[in-house]
């Protein structure tokens, strides 16, 4: 069970491990909290010297601290404003790899989940192929009713992982609250909200039924997409701790030689990756937020297949409009419109000048037009944009940060397939189509129709509202005709309280009396 003392002891141990591996020295001095200089000086004294790269030592430290810290590290890779750009780059290289847990433990989890022996669930269950902080994956085989064999991927939750995350999250919250209370910058960065987002993400990852539902929703959204799909879920063999899906026979997207040997057009694959991500984010508002090469395959039909839907992102209509107009504003060099979008979305406080903000955005956007297409990074541009917004008191938007983090990964995958890929030309058709559909005449008509529908639904309930109002008026008239009366018990209690001179008790009892009246009326 988490306690304040336990939280501080765990944070002290984590700090020691990080300092020992040289992580503290990688944190940009500009983002260190005020007054922390002695702690960082002490960390420098206990740092272990060695030839290993900073990214490797960071990975070793987080792996030693456990799965919660691996997830935290991956999450903080999206927050250079919190940890500094240098450490954020190291965190981007962090791989979610952990030692596998024993086969017998996995089989016990499967038997407990389905309340029957593993042999009754799968005809074959191989040793784990990959193990991460949350779960590990096995290849299995099931026998259909007609006797045919079908290969499946079986994901099994890591034992005791939920208890470990609960304990470690308590420590993370403790550190975040301390950071917000001791530093105005910590409050602006909304450190507690950062941990909230991490907690929600991890909680959903630890219920594999939710991942199955995410795969099902993504499959439904992309059913008409000619170049993208996700594996089908085997719902009969899926539970909270076990997820079974179809096995994907495909080539991983980072195996360039195998892709070329199979005759695939690598630049075209790069465009598919980028446009698929933007289409899901803008069109559907629901996107795969962990699109690293290990989760992406090309199947024999040439379709991009995404697996591992444990981390998904959602964008509301306002966020999608914001993203589309930001990207379109940079594509068309309309800096004023790009600035106005921030104010219209309520992301920048209104006391700032739109023109000044447009000037700051121009300082980011104009330099990209003097560079070649392969030198322009949309992900880097969004990172710079969020850095500039800090000057204008724009608070952290967790959903946009997850989008930015995913775009960094997706852009890296696309550029690996085609180093000359023009991100802006690739994005432009998807962005323009969304703007024309949602902000053009068709979108305006749809908004009007939605508004009319809402008014119509309100009118349907109008007779009930009128009748309810008449009943309230009649009850109020009856209640006050001979004066407002309270029950003898209530008046006696008020009298006793007044007799004792207990002011707070009197106020509380009068409040109770008020609630009794409200209940009587409604």
Task: Please list the active-site residues.
Answer: 290
- Contact status, residue 274 vs residue 426, Cβ threshold 8 Å: yes
Strands in 228-229's sheet, in edge-to-edge order, are 228-229, 304-306, 296-298, 251-252
Give the C-alpha distances (Å, rounded to integers) separating 143 from 155, 234, 425, 491: 18, 13, 47, 74
CA-wise closest residue to 316 among 344, 285, 358? 285
Burial, 410: exposed, middle or buried (Cβ in 10 Å; 0-12, 13-18, 19+)? Answer: buried
Give the C-alpha distances (Å, rounded to integers) separating 399 from 323, 351, 474: 11, 24, 49
Alpha helices in 392-440 (DSSP H): 398-417, 423-439
What gap in Å lies between CA 227 and CA 249, rounded to an integer?
16
Q: Would you give the DSSP letter of residue 23?
A: -
What gap in Å lies between CA 277 and CA 281, rounded to an integer?
6
What separation, in Å, do the N-terminal and C-terminal C-alpha atoms of the chain show? 43
What gap in Å lies between CA 491 and CA 516, rounded to an integer?
13
What gap in Å lies between CA 443 and CA 251, rounded to an integer?
40
Measured N-to-C along each axis, helices 488-500 and 503-521 cross at an angle, to the nearest 10 degrees, of 160
Burial, 281: exposed, middle or buried (Cβ in 10 Å; 0-12, 13-18, 19+)? Answer: buried
Pairing of strands 149-157, 304-306: unpaired
- Contact status, residue 304 vs residue 222, Cβ threshold 8 Å: no
CB atoms within 10 A of CB 451: 10
Pairing of strands 312-314, 304-306: unpaired
Alpha helices in 99-160 (DSSP H): 103-114, 118-121
CA-wise closest residue to 161 among 212, 244, 96? 96
What gap in Å lies between CA 91 and CA 55, rounded to an integer?
7
CB contact set of 172 (below 8 Å; sequence gap of 6+): 68, 72, 195, 198
3-state secondary structure 265-278: CHHHHHHHHHHHHH
| 139's tokens | 């290849």
């Amino acid at each position: 069970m988490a306690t304040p003392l336990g939280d501080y002891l765990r944070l002290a141990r984590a700090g020691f491990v990080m300092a020992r591996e040289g992580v503290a020295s990688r944190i940009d001095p500009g983002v260190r909290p005020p007054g922390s200089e002695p702690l960082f000086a002490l960390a420098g004294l206990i740092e272990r010297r060695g030839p290993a790269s900073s990214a490797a030592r960071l990975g070793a430290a987080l792996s030693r601290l456990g799965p919660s810290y691996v997830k935290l590290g991956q999450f903080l890779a999206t927050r250079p404003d919190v940890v500094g750009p240098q450490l954020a780059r190291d965190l981007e290289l962090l791989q979610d790899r952990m030692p596998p847990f024993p086969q017998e433990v996995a089989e016990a989890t499967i038997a407990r989940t389905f309340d029957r022996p593993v042999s009754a669930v799968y005809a074959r269950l191989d040793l784990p192929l990959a193990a991460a902080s949350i779960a590990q994956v096995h290849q299995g085989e099931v026998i259909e009713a007609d006797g045919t064999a079908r290969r499946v991927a079986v994901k099994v939750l890591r034992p005791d992982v939920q208890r470990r995350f609960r304990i470690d999250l308590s420590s993370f919250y403790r550190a975040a609250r301390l950071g917000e209370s001791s530093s105005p910058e910590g409050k602006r960065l909304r450190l507690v909200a950062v941990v909230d987002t991490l907690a929600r993400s991890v909680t959903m990852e630890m219920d594999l039924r939710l991942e199955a539902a995410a795969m099902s929703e993504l499959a439904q959204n992309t059913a008409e997409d000619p170049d993208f799909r996700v594996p089908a879920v085997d719902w009969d063999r899926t539970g909270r701790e076990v997820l079974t899906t179809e096995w994907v026979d495909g080539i991983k997207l980072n195996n360039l030689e195998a892709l070329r040997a199979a005759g695939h057009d690598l630049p075209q694959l790069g465009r598919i990756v980028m446009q698929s991500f933007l289409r899901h984010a803008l069109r559907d508002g629901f996107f795969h937020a962990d699109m690293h090469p290990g989760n992406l395959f090309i199947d024999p039909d040439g379709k991009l297949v995404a697996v591992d839907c444990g981390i998904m992102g959602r964008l509301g209509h306002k966020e999608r409009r914001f993203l589309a107009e930001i990207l379109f504003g940079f594509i068309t060099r309309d800096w004023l419109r790009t600035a106005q979008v921030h104010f219209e979305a309520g992301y920048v406080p209104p006391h700032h000048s739109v023109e000044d903000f447009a000037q700051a955005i121009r300082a980011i956007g104009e330099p990209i037009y003097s560079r070649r297409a392969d030198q322009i990074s949309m992900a880097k541009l969004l990172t710079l944009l969020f850095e500039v917004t800090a000057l204008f008191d724009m608070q952290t938007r967790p959903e946009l940060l997850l989008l930015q983090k995913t775009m960094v990964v997706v852009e890296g995958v696309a550029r690996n397939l085609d180093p000359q890929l023009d991100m802006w030309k690739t994005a432009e058709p998807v962005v323009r189509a969304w703007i024309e559909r949602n902000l053009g005449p068709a979108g305006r008509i749809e908004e009007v129709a939605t508004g009319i529908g809402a008014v119509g639904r309100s009118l349907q309930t109008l007779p009930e509202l009128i009748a309810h109002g008449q009943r309230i008026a009649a009850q109020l008239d009856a209640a006050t005709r001979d004066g407002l009366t309270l029950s003898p018990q209530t008046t006696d209690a008020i009298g006793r309280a007044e007799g004792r001179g207990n002011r707070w008790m009197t106020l509380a009892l009068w409040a109770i009396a008020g609630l009794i009246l409200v209940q009587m009326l409604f």
